[in-house]
Structure 1
Amino acid sequence: MPPRRTSTRRWRAFSPEEGLGLDVVSGGELAVAMAGEVPLDRVYFHGNNKTPAELEEAVAAGIGRVVVDSFHELDLLERICAEAGKSQDILVRVSPGIDPHTHAYTTTGIIDSKFGFSIQTGDAEKAVQQAIAAPHLNLRGLHFHLGSPIFELEPSSAPGGGFAIAYTRNDQPPAADDYAEAIVGTLTATCNELGMEPPALVVEPGRSIIGPAGVALYRIGAIKEIPGVRTYVSVDGGMGDNIRPALYQASYEVLSANRPTAEPDATVTIAGKYCESGDVLASDILLPSPVAGDVIAIPAAGAYCPSMASNYNLNPRPPIVLVNNGESRMIRRRESYADMMLCDL
């Protein structure tokens, strides 16, 4: 059965006229896409270990593409489609064996990866052959992803990429035009050399769209100065709402939100409130001399802060406020303690 809608509210979260699609990596994300009335023919289902229930939900819902990631999934999806009397369009995810020179935890296209069928080992070719032979699967193409964020154009030329954004003022990601020239130019030239028609090309620029659109706000609480060592400025959030610095040392810019014109004159480390020494959002950054109650802003927080947030230490996840042309409205309320205990028996 497809995921049930849990609300009759119309989200209108998706604008088909923009020509955008969506990728999901779980049954929960598929349910949200359906609640938001995203055209399912524009939805791709990713993931290295989709469950039988998730694949059944996707097939029943009429999802546009399932990005198949393993031989196990090829067999499982074929059986599910046969039992449902349906056929399913798929992409085969290949691992091209290219090092994009980004953090090991965000590198996905090398041979030593949990994602995709390796080209070097011959598994990619075997997967394509199996997909073509499957009666209920329609192979529509290949999918590959090298990692994210990638600040070099060379990996995009050989092939693909993960669009980078500027998390700090020192970051200089390539422009969209440069990515396009590297990817499309290489694709066109290679097809010409091989004497084949260029295939349809789909890119996944999600981070570059939603990342810069979000700003995380924190309120300063305790301040701990260790003479000659470090000054810790603790805030009312941390790794529960932004795991990236603790997980793979992601760097962010930090600004004073309530004193934006004040001179940055203090070197501080922004610490989260969670019970982990690694719960640090930014180390040794400049801010106006902080005091309790100040509000700081961390830009470029839209892509992964909401989607990776957790209730670690049973802290409620923060609200989300949409701001446009001087007007604001809440689109997700702050969680309550009761919300976090809803599933307890």
Structure 2
Amino acid sequence: MSATDVIHIAGRPVGPGHRPFVIAEMSGNHNGDIARALALLDAARAAGADAVKLQTYTADTITIDSDRPEFLIADGPWKGRRLHELYGEAHTPWEWHEQLFAHAAKIGIAIFSTPFDDTAVDLLERLGAPAYKIASFEMIDLPLVARVARVGKPMIVSTGMASLDEIGEAVETARANGCRELVLLHCVSSYPSPIEETNLRRIPELARRFGVHAGLSDHSMGLTVPIAATTLGAVAIEKHFTLARADGGVDSAFSLEKEELADMVRAVSDAHAALGDGVFRRAAAEEGSVTFRRSLFVVEDVPEGAEITRANVRSIRPGYGLAPKHLPEVLGRRARRPLSRGEPLAWDMLG
């Protein structure tokens, strides 16, 4: 695959020339309620997102139950929480997955997930996941990257916190194990992430350095960063979403509400449409304006044989006469016939 190739996720083309593939990240915003998880799928579909992404793990597959200091979160939105406790609250129960995949198929939105171990990949394969996401924190787990790559489906890899060497190792591992369709997402793994630290110019650099498609996994507040990323060529935008931040939940504080998600989909679509192809040509919408450009007009009656001067010919609007650049050639010529005030000047009027 080259950086110009289009890949497909659940039938949707992803790549240059297509509006960004919008991934609505559910994460733990279901708040432990399957009905809310289903409502989140409906909300993402109504907002125009292309896909909903889950996270497939249990507290025991991602960490261990320990009270040691290493397993306590020191700061950030989850300050003071034990990892095992947090992940137990945030995880999407595996017994929900089949129902969520079935509902997504029913309403017509793609669904896939981030697996955190081999057993998660096995589950997602049984459900027919059309693609896989590797989270920023797992990108350095090269055996997991290799396991997912061997499935042979499109991979989306977040690069938060990673050095260039680490990104290179992940890309090399994915390709060596059969991945042919790869998207790298620039990401700042801070929740929420400060806009001034977003460094969006890394998006085209990721595409250039690694010969892949590049996009954005965004944890900033608002829509500014996704829109700017689109103008820099992001082919995919991932954003956490919730029904309402006031409902609470482990990720709600930095998630878009469903109406904001719809606004983002429209905004990045408009931003992509505004980019165009860079070709220098008159826009179709400008055609009606051409006649209002300046041109040379007769501004005083000119008898036949009289000299054309700055007093009787001027550059004015509208644009039906000769182009203003011809004024020096016109001055000093003679009128072949009587010219009337208000006539657009043409070559056949001059001797």
TM-score (norm 1): 0.37
Larger RCO (CA within 8 A; separation ≥ 6)? 2
Is the helix fraction higher in 1 or 2? 2
Is the strand fraction higher in 1 or 2? 1
Which structure is larger by alpha-carbon Rg, 1 or 2? 2
TM-score (norm 2): 0.37
